[in-house]
Structure 1
Amino acid sequence: MADIEKLEELNQQQPNILCLDDETNVLKSLVRLLRRYKFNASFATNGQDALDKMQKIQFDVIISDMRMPHMSGAEFLAKARELSPDSQRILLTGFSDLESTVSAVNDGGIHAYVQKPWQNDHLISVINSAIDKFRLKKQNEILQAHITAQNQKLKKFNNDLEQLVNKRTKQIRALLKKLEVSVKNEQQEHQCTVELLYNFINVNPYLDGKKAKNIAITCTEIACNLNASPKSIELAPVAGYLSQIGLLAMDPELYNKPLTELTEPQRKAFYTHPSISQLMLSPATHLKDVSNAIYYQFERYNGSGSPEGLAGNDIPIGAMVLNVARDYWSYYEQYESFDSLEERADFAFHKIKNYSGAFYHPKIVNALEEVYPSLISKKVNIGSLRVYSAFELEADMVLAHSLFNNNGTMLLPKGHIFNRKSISKLQQLEAKKPNSFRIMVEKAID
């Protein structure tokens, strides 16, 4: 912003012109001409005086006579070039000064010369051209500085984002690893992983857990309508629940407001969250198909999507189902002004249908057409979990997953309803352990 203000200030300034001539009458005539054209004209009668003025003011253009005592125009312009290389230098010379003019071109780096006696229109034209060249150089310097500063900010943003992603990815991957080790004897390892990761989304104030549930339900309904394999139907809702998991490793600034309010670099960063999800889920090998569905969720049927521009059946079926389900609920949420939920559902479906064959697979759109009228009445069966130590338990809490000791011996079965006796026993065991138990307790999701 400061660089842009400098640019505006430069454009509004009157040009500064320095005139050097040892003949007072010539100098007065030159200054009078320049001021008639609204230039800020300064004058000097000797080279040293002119150099002193250049120490205080940056001049757009410097005009010097050739023949002067003590310091010739060529000598002065050579020193002026060292002091202010961007200032445009014009030499006033007589017809007989050809040799001296060549010296001024070589040593003083003059940009133009005008023969005496000059014609006013010609001299003003040369000066205006010199001013334009000086201003253009300064504008380029300011814009280059602005671009450099913006690139540095973008580089810092990318570095900060990368560090944040790496940090949070390591944390979540470590948590996933611990989780898989802790439930290796648990037959419902898959469900445990999904529920715990979903809870991370559900408790985040900037992410919509309810939307994730709706997407999961829709994925399941579409998969069933397509007569998908039992495994595909089992994994379909998981992709919906975890489609936003990659956002947990990113700065909330990227997802706590609409995409339309993000800068272009921020939007590009936002669309990397599926690849972060894939990285997070890589330790959970049993979720590989889910991971692929999430990674390719922004691919388009016509090949215009990301991250790889896949088209048609090259896109994993789970990703195409997730794509339709996600966008359906995004459209549904955009139009809260409709009188009924049915109207919102109809509108959302027709938005999807408009892009059938372009963004979405026609068969999946047809499946959505058959199931969407009943989606708003569906209930969610998955439960939410909380993790407690033994000393945080209360009577009537329900154990969500079987509890084992370090030797793999089951202490309590899944579904156990805690009472004073079982809580007391666990507290005694925990008091002898170096670390607290991590007891998963069911909690209904509203």
Structure 2
Amino acid sequence: MTSIDQLELLNQQPPSILCLDDEANVLKSLVRLLRQYKFDVSVSTNGEDALEKMQNKQFDVIISDMRMPHMSGADFLAEARKLAPDSQRILLTGFSNLESTISAVNDGGIHAYVQKPWQNDHLISVIKSAVEKFRLKKQNEILQLHINQQNQQLKELNSNLEQLVDKRTKQIRSVLKKLEVANESEKREHQSTVELLYNFINANPYLDGKIAESIAGTCTQIARYLDVSQKSITLAPMAGYLAQIGLLAMDPELYNKPINKLNDVQRKTFYTHPSMSQLMLMPATHLSDVSDAIYHQFERYNGKGIPKGLAGNDIPIGAMVLSVARDYWDHYEQSDSLLTTKQRHEAALSNIKVNSGSLYHPRIVDALEASHTKLIASDSFIGSIKVICAQELEENMILANSLHSHTGIMLLPKGHIFNTKSIIKLQQLEAKKPTPFRIMVKTAK
């Protein structure tokens, strides 16, 4: 039975009252009065019988007369306290029993006493108050147990997650380290590193490599319209390709369903993936700018983002570009699939523009809008397009669509400008294939 079930059961059960008195008429009066208020009443005429009933049932309230043969009310309540310390104990006493009442207070730990003959309204008020105290204490115990269980589950989850993250991080960092050693003389060839890591994303069944490719392309277009350095233009798509690399070190349960379906703990963990990306990319020192862009991708122009709450131009420009491109495609994917492609692009742009100056840098939103026509037309590839095999490739041809192996691994990204080196590599790969590549290219303007 869960803690919630225990709470519901406690609230549904009528309060149980045990009445002890050696006079049958007194017990009848108590039963008649208490049952009017829907109490579950049990009675005993001696202390031994009452204690036996307490061993078989839990009572909210125990009411005992003081003067009884064999076992006084004070003695009974002292024993009752040992058996059921949480049950509320009420003593019925006469005016002449002050000394015994004091003994019951000290030894029996009574919570209230009512003098005989009692007033019905007063007695019911005292009993209701006692029931409330008993149930509040029980509810607190159940909730505390529930909290302790949840804390233990969370502790175990965090422990397992830390082990998984540590294992996967070590694996990916090991690959990066080997890549660094093997290509020490070619550290500046960023693209090969990015393509390798992008293949990790593309091979994961829960991550969409096509979306990463679209984000990367939009990052490039925005960077060009911002009139930034050639280095920034080169780095811009890399952040788009690798924006989700940190998710590879996390449990797929955190990213194989929409964020709004995650609970608070899972959502908080999910938003740590940029930090995980930074850890993974640390050995690739030549990608430090890309790493910074990914780490700060959830910062907001108004300073209300994470992880550092940076605002305005304090946010790395690569992170601001990535944020706009990522959210643009997020809005696009969430838009009505019955709309035309152009309408979905326009809806995505509208969502970005409405948050210009708050979530996003106005200059970057303007750059997105300026490149929007090109973005919509990107699938149509304005210019001369043809499909050729690797043997027909020439230098300066531009790859019009990303080139993948038969297993889905990306070999070259869209927009790659062919050179002697990439042409030779593709021709070597094609020679090992039973059929030639079908490569969509356009000539450079």
Instruction: Give the alignment of 1:109-258 within 5 angstroms.
Output: 109-186=109-186, 189-258=189-258
Distance 1:47 1:370, change over 3 A: same
Please tell me the residue identity of whatever aligns with 1:276: M
1:65-144 superposed matches below 5 A: 65-144=65-144
Change in Cα spacing, 1:64 to 1:443, as seen in structure 2 (3 Å) is farther
Change (3 A) 1:331 1:150: same
State how far apart, in whole Å, the 2-side matches of 1:161 and 1:81 are. 46
Match of 1:417 among 402, 405, 428: 428
Q: Which residue of 2 aligns with 1:392?
A: none
**What is the total number of aligned residue pairs between the two structures?**
408
Counterparts of 1:280-319 in structure 2, within 5 Å, are 280-319=280-319
- 1:328 aligned residue: 328
Structure 1 residue identity aligned to 2:12: Q
Corresponding position of 1:372: 372
Could you tell me whether the CA contact under 8 Å between 1:195 and 1:385 is conserved in 2?
A: no
Return the letter of the residue paired with 2:23: E
The amino acid of 1:152's aligned partner reads Q
Superposition deviation, residue 30 in structure 1: 2.0
Match of 2:32 in 1: 32
Work out the CA distance in 2 between the residues paired with 1:263 and 1:401.
Answer: 51
For the 8 Å contact 1:401–1:415, the answer to whether it is kept is no
Q: Aligned-pair distance for 1:401?
A: 11
- Provide the C-alpha distance between the structure 2 equivalents of 1:129 and 1:342, rounded to a whole number of angstroms: 68
Superposition RMSD on alpha carbons, in Å?
Answer: 2.6
What is the match of residue 347 of structure 1? 347
SS in 2 for 1:37: coil
Structure 1 letter corresponding to 2:246: G
Q: Render the CA deviation track for 1:360-390: whole Å, top value 9, x for unaligned.
A: 0000001011002211333666544799xxx
What is the CA distance between 1:215 and its match in structure 2?
A: 0.7
Q: Distance in 2 between matches of 1:443 and 1:244?
A: 29
* Compared CA separation, residues 385 and 187, structure 1 to 2 (3 A): farther
Structure 2, unmatched stretches of 5+, are 380-399, 408-418
Q: 1:445 to 1:30 in 2, by over 3 A?
A: farther
List per-residue Cα deviations over 1:34-71 (Å, max 9, x = no partner).
22332221111211111111000111110111111221
* TM value normalised by structure 2: 0.86
Q: How does 1:265-280 map to 2 (within 5 A)?
A: 265-280=265-280
Q: Percent identity?
A: 68
Q: Output the CA distance in 2 between the equivalents of 1:90 and 1:415.
A: 91
Equivalent-residue separation in structure 2 for 1:385 and 1:184 (angstroms): 27
* 2:303 match: secondary structure: coil
The answer on whether the counterparts of 1:384 and 1:445 sit within 8 Å (CA) in structure 2 is: no
More deviation, 77-86/332-341:
332-341
- TM (norm. structure 1) is 0.86
**Residue type of the alignment partner of 1:116:** K
Q: Retained in 2: the 8 A contact 1:216–1:239?
A: yes
Indicate conservation of the 8 Å contact 1:249/1:276, yes or no: yes
Whole-angstrom CA distance in 2 between matches of 1:335 and 1:414 = 40
Aligned amino acid, residue 99 of structure 1: E
C-alpha contact (below 8 Å) 1:386/1:443 kept by paired residues: no
Offset at residue 216 of structure 1 (A): 0.6
Aligned 8 A contact 1:342 1:373 in 2: no
| Matching residue of 1:262 | 262
Q: Work out the CA distance in 2 between the residues paired with 1:302 and 1:419.
A: 51
- Counterpart-to-counterpart distance in 1, 2:117 and 2:351: 77
Q: Give the Cα–Cα distance (whole angstroms) in 2 for the partners of residues 419 and 335 of structure 1.
A: 39
* CA shift digits 1:420-443 (9 cap, x unpaired): 8x99xxxxxxxxxxxxxxxxxx99
Q: What amino acid maps onto 1:66 in structure 2?
A: M
Equivalent position of 1:431 in the other structure: none
Pair 418,335 (structure 1): closer, same or farther in 2 beyond 3 Å: closer
In 2, Cα distance between equivalents of 1:18 and 1:320: 70
Amino acid at match of 1:231: K
Aligned-partner residue type, residue 205 of structure 1: P
Instruction: Report the Cα offset of residue 125 of structure 1.
Output: 1.5
Q: Which amino acid aligns with 2:368?
A: L
